[in-house]
Structure 1
Amino acid sequence: MTLFLPLEDSPPVSSIPSFVIRPSEPDIQLAKVVKTILKARRIVVICAGISVKAGIPDFRSSEGLFQTLKRDNPKDALSSGKDLFDASVFNTEHKTALFCQMISRLSDLSQAAQPTPFHRLLRSLDDHRRLLRVYTQNIDAIEEKSGLSFGVPEFEGKRGKPRNSTFSEVGDPGPSTAANRTPRCIPLHGTLQQVHCQICTNSFPLNEYLPSLASGVPPECPECTSMEHTRQLVGKRARGVGKLRPSVVLYNEAHKDGEGVGDIVQKDLIGSKGRSGADLLLVVGTSLRVPGTKRMVREFSKAVHSRGSSSKESSPGGDEQAPQQQQQQSSQQQQPLKAIYLNLDFPVPTRDWEGVFDAWLQGDAQTFA
């Protein structure tokens, strides 16, 4: 069962899943949610769409990128703006140019954006050592502006030449050295901060190549260019110069740092080096349509529930003669809250989420913050 807790000014819902119950005293239960968050010690947040109030469009809403890109490019026969977030954009020069120009505009918006109240809430939880990790589907990196350490560290099992890291050692107050080597915020879909070469995979700051991207032309890789010049000087045959592409993860391609992300997820699920794994899951603003994120949420929900409750809430005794439905509702309202979903709409198909969340906070993340 999942508690239904609408926030102030939330739009009414026409129907809710059968396993979602309306508590008799929602204000008390909402206060319990807040208390649970403030008492938790290893919170994992999985989020998306928390930058809309900062001026960054989301992807799937009626005014999100998928719809506006289709509307703004009527001659390109896009079935959806999602077409420009598919790995196939590199198959034609025209789509590649549209993709580069779109990334340039998003980068400008991201650089101008400032942290929202929810970003500041994340920083506050981190300052009070309540935050274990933030896994963000956003690509704008505003979490770093709020003071969270950000990026994906080098995968420990990886061999070969180290790549350039996007990790900034800022605001990671965990007591162990292992935690200090791991950024507090992990970008699940890459970021607008970097570009990387499609041949040599070296990474470079995206803002250095904004003019080229804005014109729709993928820039040439300086590392490959330098290497080609050296090969020519020593009389070796040319290998070609790679093109730089934004380091965002597209549909139908693997995350270039996927091993590193997976390693961190595994440690946060089960704990590592004497530290326990997550004890509270907070899922915010995501429609949970991406299969990888969907799996992550289900696994973290299992993990936090397996650890039981860190504290027991006292509650008044019920009427022994109460009907069975009332007893079930009372029992649910006394259960520890370990997995919380915060969004305007419940994810679909709803049957996939029965038993995953203990509470659905129906509303906006900024309102909750």
Structure 2
Amino acid sequence: MSEKNEAEKIEELKGLIENANYVTFLTGAGVSVPSGIPDYRSKGGLYKRQKYEFPPEYMLSHDNLIKHPDIFHQFVVENMYFPDAEPNIIHTKMAEISNEKGTIVTQNVDKLHTKAGAKHVVEFHGNLYDNIHCLTCGKEFDYKEYIKDYRHHEDDGIIRPGTTVLYGEGINPDNIENAVAAIENADLIVVVGTSFKVYPFAGLLSYKNANTKLVAVNKENLDLDSSVLAITDDATNVFEKL
């Protein structure tokens, strides 16, 4: 029996979604690339750039926020904020499906799933726009104020950008609980636009039920086992056909 081509796999995914009782999407930076937001680990991604003093993992760390708030702020503003970005077909199609029967669990901090109208979203790593606050007094700020200045001049406090989980910090327990529930409830899990190398996010699949079907949509092969329906294609192309 010959191996299915990508078009046949997309048709299979379409059927799986139609027949599923509960679909959980696990998404990463690749989902937002068509909206003009760079990813992290691809050839031209954020983590491959060499223009900064420290490696990106340190630039996005709690330690850097506290010790070098000016450097942290510059990096985040230059590389992380894309307030004018609009959801693409992947976001809108996922919103449509998950609003009917499922959940989106995302690593992304850009809020584009919510902007697309998705009602059941677990922002595993938080986001850059909610609860921007002064670490000294707790006062909240709009992201536009944060982009201009990281200092709260009333008490000389450092302003923290949103609920985003930084390197060196733990994941919000509620996010872990909600993500695990989404995995356990699913009879279909679709992984889209992620290298699946960041833990604990990548470890969520350990909560998958044995009979739950797993699909991976990614430009690069993720080297998952043969039971996974692997669609090696641009996610935009795939979701346009669903």
For the superposition of Structure 1 and Structure 2, which TM-score range results when normalised by the shorter chain? 0.7 to 0.9
Output the CA distance in 2 between the equivalents of 1:200 and 1:259.
24
Can you give the 5+ residue segments of structure 1 that lack an aligned partner in the other structure? 1-21, 150-183, 213-217, 226-240, 271-276, 308-337
Letter in 1 for 2:220: D
Give the drift of 1:28.
Answer: 3.9
Output the CA distance in 2 between the equivalents of 1:269 and 1:119.
19
Residue 169 (structure 2) pairs with residue 299 (structure 1): no
Output the CA distance in 2 between the equivalents of 1:28 and 1:107.
36
Match of 2:174 in 1: 260
Residue 234 (structure 2) pairs with residue 364 (structure 1): yes
For residues 40-86 of structure 1, the C-alpha deviation after alignment (integer angstroms, 9 at most, x for no partner) is 23110011121111111111112111122x2x33xx2x3x3232122
Match of 2:225 in 1: 354
User: Relative to 1, partners in 2 of residues 1:200 and 1:81: Cα closer, same or farther, differing over 3 Å?
Assistant: same
Residue 211 (structure 2) pairs with residue 340 (structure 1): no
| Identical positions, percent | 22
Residue 62 (structure 2) pairs with residue 84 (structure 1): no
User: Relative to 1, partners in 2 of residues 1:269 and 1:287: Cα closer, same or farther, differing over 3 Å?
Assistant: closer
Residue 155 (structure 2) pairs with residue 220 (structure 1): no
Partner SS for 1:243: strand
Output the CA distance in 1 between the equivalents of 2:139 and 2:181.
27
Match of 1:98 in 2: 71
Match of 1:119 in 2: 91
Q: 1:209 aligns with which of 132, 142, 146?
A: 146
Output the CA distance in 2 between the equivalents of 1:137 and 1:266.
14
Q: 2:103 aligns with which of 126, 133, 136?
A: 133
Residue 125 (structure 2) pairs with residue 189 (structure 1): yes
Output the CA distance in 2 between the equivalents of 1:210 and 1:120.
28
Give the drift of 1:252.
Answer: 1.9
Q: 1:40 aligns with which of 20, 31, 38?
A: 20
Output the CA distance in 2 between the equivalents of 1:85 and 1:297.
26
User: Relative to 1, partners in 2 of residues 1:187 and 1:202: Cα closer, same or farther, differing over 3 Å?
Assistant: farther
Output the CA distance in 1 between the equivalents of 2:221 and 2:46.
21
User: Relative to 1, partners in 2 of residues 1:25 and 1:65: Cα closer, same or farther, differing over 3 Å?
Assistant: closer
Output the CA distance in 2 between the equivalents of 1:142 and 1:211.
22
Give the drift of 1:121.
Answer: 1.0
Letter in 2 for 1:261: N
Letter in 2 for 1:99: F
- Cα root mean square deviation, aligned: 2.5
Partner SS for 1:44: strand
Larger Rg: 1
Letter in 1 for 2:126: G
Counting matched residue pairs gives 235
For residues 126-165 of structure 1, the C-alpha deviation after alignment (integer angstroms, 9 at most, x for no partner) is 35x13x111111111111221123xxxxxxxxxxxxxxxx
Are the equivalent residues in 1 in contact too, given 2:22–2:186 (CA < 8 A)?
Answer: yes
Q: Tell me which stretches of 4 or more aligned residues in structure 1 moved more than 6 Å.
A: none
TM-score by length of 1: 0.58
Are the equivalent residues in 1 in contact too, given 2:105–2:121 (CA < 8 A)?
Answer: yes
Partner SS for 2:200: helix
User: Relative to 1, partners in 2 of residues 1:199 and 1:263: Cα closer, same or farther, differing over 3 Å?
Assistant: farther
Show the 5 A alignment for 1:249-288.
249-255=165-171, 258-270=172-184, 277-288=185-196
Output the CA distance in 2 between the equivalents of 1:201 and 1:39.
47
Give the drift of 1:24.
Answer: 3.5
Can you give the 5+ residue segments of structure 2 that lack an aligned partner in the other structure? none
Letter in 1 for 2:169: E
Letter in 2 for 1:66: Y
Letter in 1 for 2:65: F
User: Relative to 1, partners in 2 of residues 1:145 and 1:38: Cα closer, same or farther, differing over 3 Å?
Assistant: same
Give the drift of 1:201.
Answer: 5.5
Letter in 1 for 2:147: L
For residues 168-221 of structure 1, the C-alpha deviation after alignment (integer angstroms, 9 at most, x for no partner) is xxxxxxxxxxxxxxxx11111121103234356565432332211xxxxx2228
Output the CA distance in 2 between the equivalents of 1:39 and 1:203.
44
Give the drift of 1:363.
Answer: 1.2
